[in-house]
Amino acid sequence: MLATYRQGPEGGTPLLIVHGLFGSARNWGAVARRLARDRLVLTVDMRNHGDSFRDPDHGYEDMAGDLARVIERNGDSADVLGHSMGGKAAMVLALTRPELVDRLIVGDIAPVAYSHTQLHLVQAMQELDLTGLTRRSEADSKLARIVPDSGTRAFLLQSLDLKSSPARWKLNLDVLSAEMDGILGWPDIDSRFDGPALFLTGENSDYFRQEYRPETKRLFPRARFARIRGAGHWLHADKPREFEAAAASFLVR
């Protein structure tokens, strides 16, 4: 089972929140707490991330299977919100196990294969000398030589465990590197999800382009689209209140 964290009142349909590549459940702390005011919210660490298990396989069918087990452990079905890699895993879950997904929210990702790569970030983390590190600011200074963007560094460093002796990444970097092509890709799935689906994108992100809409509508006929102004790819971190409001509005029954 994935490491799973619960908050909010028990009963009713839970909301399952699924983080993206290099993330963890803790990235969603503030948004999850606010959405949990009147419902049960489950956040998870995906396989090879955070405190969840390590596995040599990191395909979307595998990740969707992990999410299915979490839902089955906590009820009959769930609303599912996934971002980036987690959004793809959530889409695959909805397409392959539609009976488990009531409403689907996908954050800034489309059901297509992408041509960019994140291998440079994996390599940057692998090359960072963790010897003797005790403060995140020290790690940030060292990582800045390889990763110039401060926002990206701050995100990656959330997965650095400085309480461990020695310090370690809470990511299975070797597997994520080996599986990167599949993470950026999209499995060949001949099915569709007929439930309500909301695709939220960041105004300043190019992850979801206009030309991706026809394929998205083919797989998710009831898809709705909304753009959050001033947000980039990590739209829930850039504009958390706006993201929360859009998600909450869509989830109202």
Residues assigned a catalytic role:
84, 174, 233
CB 150 within 8 A of CB 122: no
Per-residue b or e along 139-151, where b marks 16 or more CB atoms closer than 10 Å to that residue's CB:
bbebbeeebeeee
Long-range Cβ contact pairs of 156-163 (< 8 A, separation 24 or more): 156/22, 156/121, 156/124, 156/125, 158/23, 158/24, 158/26, 158/27, 159/22, 159/23, 159/24, 159/49, 159/50, 160/130, 160/133, 160/136, 162/133, 162/134, 162/135, 162/136
- Give the start-end residues of each E strand in the chain: 4-7, 15-18, 41-44, 78-83, 101-107, 160-161, 168-169, 197-202, 223-228
The amino acid at residue 149 is: D
What would the two tokens of residue 220 be? 């998710």
Please give the backbone phi and psi of residue 199, each rounded to the nearest 5 degrees, phi first: -110, 110
Token readout for 88 is 């793809």
Is it true that the peptide bond before 98 is cis, omega within 30 degrees of 0? no
By C-alpha distance, which of 219, 240, 250 is closest to 110? 219
